[in-house]
């Protein structure tokens, strides 16, 4: 078990607190089969000139506290088989972006104390899903979305950031944005899935958390329907009850 990054500095009254879903992502990304997949994908054997393939860009959408991004950032060497990864995060919640930068710094210090490596953190951006990103750049995309089915989807904050500390109403809106997924809990996730083919690089892959109400089988079928190269598999799950798992991680990727 790799150590979980510390998030004790994070204000959980306006930022999603790491929970079962966050930990399922950590466990899955560091599981032997996923490490094997990522090692193989990002360390191709035909690097005869002694150079490795270009540094992978790892982007987490909806970083919240930053627990997941700083985990892969700190343990890059173990998870990807190389430490020279670039990491970046996006969240609609500005406070989550600030918290993530802080969580990354703490995780880096922890690695340094133990004489271990970490990736190169580019920064966090306040934004809606992948909209700030240039197409075809992302090698690993990670998303633990707002997945709970709710009657409505909260409106995204827009434009200017208010000065001063957020009000109680602002805080509850940020928390609502972190879990409320609208119809089937899929409204935000569906938008991400639509953007995925353009955003991922040739060697790109995505890890997405889903709950049973999101109908994971339909999601996988939809991605496979994009064409023969597209694959989608369940690679982690938790909370099994009567043959149904409450939460699962699906991996989406293209095979050449």
Ligand X SMILES: C[S@@+](CC[C@H](N)C(=O)[O-])C[C@H]1O[C@@H](n2cnc3c(N)ncnc32)[C@H](O)[C@@H]1O
Q: What are the residues binding other proteins (CB under 8 A)?
A: 51-55, 57, 84, 86, 88, 90, 92, 94, 97-98, 101, 120-128, 131-135, 137, 156-161
Binding flag, residue 64, ligand X (CB under 6 A): yes
Query: From the list other proteins, ligand X, none, which binds 67 (C-beta under 5 to 8 Å, kind-based)?
Result: ligand X
Of 115, 30, 40, the closest CA to residue 78 belongs to: 30
Q: Hey, which residues between 211 and 240 contact ligand X (CB under 6 A)?
A: none
Looking at the Cβ atoms of 86 and 96, the one nearer to ligand X is 96
Instruction: Give least dist CB 25 to ligand X, A.
Output: 6
Q: What is the DSSP string of 68-120?
A: HHHHHHHTHHHHHS-S--EEEEEES-HHHHHHHHHHHHHHHHHHHHTT----E
Binding flag, residue 67, ligand X (CB under 6 A): yes
Looking at the Cβ atoms of 56 and 62, the one nearer to ligand X is 62
Using only C-alpha atoms, what is the Rg of the chain?
A: 18
Alpha-carbon distance values, 246 to 148, 160, 211, 240 (Å): 12, 38, 6, 6
The rounded distance, in Å, linking the Cα atoms of 93 and 179 is 13
Interface region with ligand X, contact rule CB under 6 A, candidates 20-28, 73-81, 212-220, 245-253: 20-28
Give residue number: closest CB to ligand X: 62
Residue of the chain from 74, 177, 205, 211 that contacts ligand X (CB under 6 A)? 177
Binding flag, residue 7, ligand X (CB under 6 A): no
SS3 7: coil
Query: From the list ligand X, other proteins, none, which binds 125 (C-beta under 5 to 8 Å, kind-based)?
Result: other proteins
> Which residues have a Cβ under 8 Å from the Cβ of 18 and sit 6 or more positions away?
4, 7, 64, 65, 67
- # binding residues, ligand X (CB under 6 A): 26
At which residue do the structure tokens 């899903």 appear?
129
Looking at the Cβ atoms of 55 and 150, the one nearer to other proteins is 55
Of 139, 186, 144, 145, the closest CA to residue 24 belongs to: 144
**Footprint of ligand X (CB under 6 A):** 16, 18, 21-22, 25, 61-65, 67-68, 90-93, 96, 128-129, 144-146, 177-179, 188
């Amino acid at each position: 078990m790799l150590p979980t990054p510390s998030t004790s500095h994070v204000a959980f009254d306006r930022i999603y607190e790491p929970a079962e879903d966050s930990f399922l992502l950590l466990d899955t990304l560091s599981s032997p089969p996923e490490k094997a997949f990522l090692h193989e994908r990002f360390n191709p054997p035909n690097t005869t000139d002694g150079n490795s393939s270009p540094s992978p860009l790892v982007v987490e959408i909806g970083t919240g506290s930053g627990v997941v991004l700083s985990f892969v950032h700190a343990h890059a060497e173990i998870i990807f088989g190389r430490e020279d990864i670039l990491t970046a995060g996006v969240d609609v919640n500005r406070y989550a972006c600030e918290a993530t930068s802080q969580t990354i710094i703490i995780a880096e210090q922890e690695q340094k104390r133990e004489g271990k490596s970490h990736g190169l953190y580019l920064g966090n951006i306040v934004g809606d899903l992948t909209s700030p990103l240039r197409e075809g750049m992302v090698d690993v995309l990670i998303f633990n979305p707002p997945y709970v089915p709710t009657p409505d989807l909260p409106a995204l904050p827009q434009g200017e950031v208010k000065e001063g500390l957020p009000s109680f109403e602002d805080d509850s809106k940020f928390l609502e944005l972190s879990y409320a997924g609208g119809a089937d809990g899929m409204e935000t996730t569906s938008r991400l899935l639509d953007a995925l083919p353009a955003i991922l690089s040739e060697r790109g892959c995505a890890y997405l958390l889903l709950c049973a109400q999101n109908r994971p089988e339909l999601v996988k079928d939809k991605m496979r329907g994009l064409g023969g190269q597209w694959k989608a598999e369940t690679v982690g799950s938790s909370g099994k009850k009567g043959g149904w798992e409450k939460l699962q991680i699906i991996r989406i990727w293209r095979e050449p």
